[in-house]
Amino acid sequence: MTHVTREAVQHLAQLSQLQLNPDEVDDLTADIEAILKYIEQLSELDTSGVEPTYQVTDLENVWRSDKVKASDVTREELLARAPAAEQHQVKVPKVL
């Protein structure tokens, strides 16, 4: 049985780019342990020699011509949706 520690949850949060507050870590630790406990039953199933299914359309390599199509949406319309923009660029906190 998987035991989920607070540290493991904090690691998962980091992988998921979530900065959790301490109360949330407690709740999520309990929830994630309960969910993992449920989904672990799948290990009972014998799947040896079975190919995995990743998609169900039966479609293969849907091709299109490699041509640039004009978009209905302009650069200005998209920039207007950014929380911060300056000089036709999206503005972010200092990276380096």
* Residues near other proteins, by CB under 8 A: 9, 12-13, 15-21, 24, 27-28, 31-32, 34-45, 47, 50-57, 59, 62, 64, 72-73, 77-78, 81-84, 90, 92-95
Reference 10, options 2, 1, 22; nearest CA is 22
Contact, 44 vs 67, CB < 8 A? no
Q: Which residue type does 89 have?
A: Q
Residue 87 beta carbon to other proteins: minimum distance, rounded to whole angstroms? 16
Reference 33, options 1, 77, 76; nearest CA is 1
Residue 90 beta carbon to other proteins: minimum distance, rounded to whole angstroms? 6
Helical H runs in 6-94? 6-15, 22-39, 75-79
Closest CB to other proteins among 7 and 34? 34
Residue 86 beta carbon to other proteins: minimum distance, rounded to whole angstroms? 13
